[in-house]
Amino acid sequence: MEPLYISSSEAPKSRDVPTLLRQLAAKGSNFVDGNSESRGELLEIARSLCIALETPMEAILRMGWAQPTLEAVVRTALDLKLFDRMEDEDGSPKSSAQLAIMTGSDQVLLSRILKHLASMEVIIEMGTDLYGNTRLSKSLVDSIYRGGFRFCLGTLVTACRALPEQLANTGYRNPTESLQSAFQLGHHTKLHAFEFVQKNDFVGFNNHMAGYSLSRARWCDPGCFPVEEILGKNLRGDKNDVLLVDVGGATGHDLIAFHEQYPKLPGRLVLQDLPVTIAEVEGLPDIIEPMAHDFFTKQPVKGARAYYIHSCLHDWPDDKCQEILNNIIPAMTPGYSSILINENVVPEKDAHWLTTSLDMIMISVFATAERTEKDWNEILNSVGLHLVKIWTYERGTQSLIEAELR
Ligand SMILES: C[S@@+](CC[C@H](N)C(=O)[O-])C[C@H]1O[C@@H](n2cnc3c(N)ncnc32)[C@H](O)[C@@H]1O
């Protein structure tokens, strides 16, 4: 049978193979190794090219065979610490027999898993039955990436897999009940996702947040948000004054990065999160003060230059976001304090897959959403804040939403 495909006359321009090849060549000639923008552009074109070349059946098999089986073997490999063992003895190539002994698994089984990992390019086949780590599998030896990936493949995937059933059960209404989301259905729990995670895979969750933030541009990186020009302007600068409060800042990775970038900006740095998270904090530089604080209660740190809140508001429906912001507002000094919200701003068109997949994760886990500029404006206006500017520093990553008292 003739494979089904969209003819080039029907295909949107961006899916046109010759056009994509020309774009790839043009961008490829400007490619600078280490430049994340040029790498990202090339990757997007290359991805569109793969999709344009794929027949529908190949796409179905990629999504229906390759992806779920890849998830299964990667999870098994992580459970066995396979990639760790592959790094032993200076990462020299190893056979399935060696690796079976090193991981305590059956050789026949392991050789099949290794072959799939190699065909999916997670590891590399260096000869017949000889395997080595790639950059990806080597990164999974690091506990931050390994723990975070296990969290995604386990806790998040279970929630996403339950989404179709949950949506069918509720007549395809846009979910808004955080205690009746796909998360509760998939995990057979009545707990809010945060409570469930705290009980079941808290370290994995914190690792995921830390690893995710390590791998993308941060708001305080050069060229993103002009930290010195904006936060440094009119800074009172007394050593007792607070420069930045990271509200819901997990174990402090954002504040650590901020301090590394701007060690000379004066003022205290305060890390806030729930007591259970603050108890996990270790190795913070002395300058960062950990503080247990529930953001549904009044902000205790008054008159900070900025209250920074990263990837927290998207976890909550609008009324809860209003509550969180209303608890910060009384602590702000008019004309001095800002609120800096680090979140996705979903564009009207051409949203990146990173943004849309996070939106689907939010719908599955919390029955919430990634928000558009209009949504952010509405939430901020509703609590008496004024959106000063949205600083978008990389497509597909988050933006910094700068807001002040109106
Ligand atoms: C998605 S994580 C974001 C963490 C961090 N800001 C980041 O971007 O990596 C959400 C954070 O909100 C914290 N959180 C949840 N409920 C909270 C509450 N009521 N008060 C304070 N923090 C809370 C969680 O513990 C978690 O660290």
- Of ligand 1's listed atoms, the one at least distance from the Cα of 213 is 9
The tokens for 72 are: 């299964």
What's the gap in Å between 104 CA and the centre of ligand 1? Answer: 38
Domain count of the fold of the chain? 4
Mutate to test the pocket of ligand 1, among 191, 273, 358, 366 (most ligand atoms within 8 A of CB): 273
Mutate to test the pocket of ligand 1, among 276, 312, 324, 343 (most ligand atoms within 8 A of CB): 312
- Note whether residue 336 is domain-resident: yes
d(CA 204, CA 152): 9
Name the pLDDT band for 396 (thresholds 50, 70, 90): confident
Same domain, 332 and 262: yes
3-state secondary structure 321-390: HHHHHHHHHHHCCCCCCEEEEEECEECCCCCCHHHHHHHHHHHHHHCCCCEEHHHHHHHHHHCCEEEEEE
Name the pLDDT band for 39 (thresholds 50, 70, 90): confident
Q: What is the pLDDT of residues 262-309, one digit of tens each?
A: 999 999 999 999 999 999 899 899 999 999 999 999 999 999 999 999
What's the gap in Å between 194 CA and the centre of ligand 1? Answer: 9
- Note whether residue 242 is domain-resident: yes
Same domain, 66 and 39: no
Name the pLDDT band for 316 (thresholds 50, 70, 90): very high
- When pLDDT is averaged across residues 110-136 and rounded to a whole number, the result is 98
- Note whether residue 226 is domain-resident: yes
Same domain, 275 and 294: yes
Residue nearest to atom 23 of ligand 1 (CA): 248
Same domain, 314 and 201: no
Residue-level pLDDT at 8: 43
Name the pLDDT band for 4 (thresholds 50, 70, 90): very low
pLDDT reading at 58 higher than 70:
yes
Q: What is the pLDDT of residues 159-217, one digit of tens each?
A: 999 999 999 999 999 999 999 999 999 999 999 999 999 999 988 998 998 888 887 78
Name the pLDDT band for 6 (thresholds 50, 70, 90): very low
Same domain, 269 and 349: yes
Same domain, 304 and 180: no
pLDDT reading at 11 higher than 70:
no
Q: What is the pLDDT of residues 322-354, one digit of tens each?
A: 999 999 999 999 999 999 999 999 999 989 999
- When pLDDT is averaged across residues 121-150 and rounded to a whole number, the result is 95
% of the chain beyond a pLDDT of 90: 80
d(CA 30, CA 139): 28
Closest to 276 measured CA to CA, from 211, 200, 202, 210 = 202
Residue-level pLDDT at 5: 43
- When pLDDT is averaged across residues 230-256 and rounded to a whole number, the result is 91
Residue-level pLDDT at 15: 66
- Note whether residue 3 is domain-resident: no
Residue-level pLDDT at 14: 52
Give me the CATH number covering residue 325. Answer: 3.40.50.150
| Residue among 208, 259, 310, 314 flagged as catalytic | 314
Name the pLDDT band for 7 (thresholds 50, 70, 90): very low
- Note whether residue 380 is domain-resident: yes
Same domain, 205 and 346: no
- Note whether residue 8 is domain-resident: no
Same domain, 394 and 263: yes
pLDDT reading at 38 higher than 70:
yes
Closest to 402 measured CA to CA, from 261, 258, 255, 219 = 219
- When pLDDT is averaged across residues 17-37 and rounded to a whole number, the result is 84
Same domain, 380 and 345: yes
Residue-level pLDDT at 9: 45
C-alpha distances (whole Å) from 128 to each of 36, 109, 167 are 35, 17, 47
- DSSP annotation of 273 reads E
Ligand 1 pocket, residues with Cβ under 6 angstroms:
194, 209, 213, 248-250, 273-274, 277, 294-296, 310-312, 315
Name the pLDDT band for 61 (thresholds 50, 70, 90): very high
Q: What is the residue range of 36's domain?
A: 13-53
- When pLDDT is averaged across residues 100-120 and rounded to a whole number, the result is 98
Same domain, 205 and 333: no
Does 310 participate in catalysis according to the annotation? no
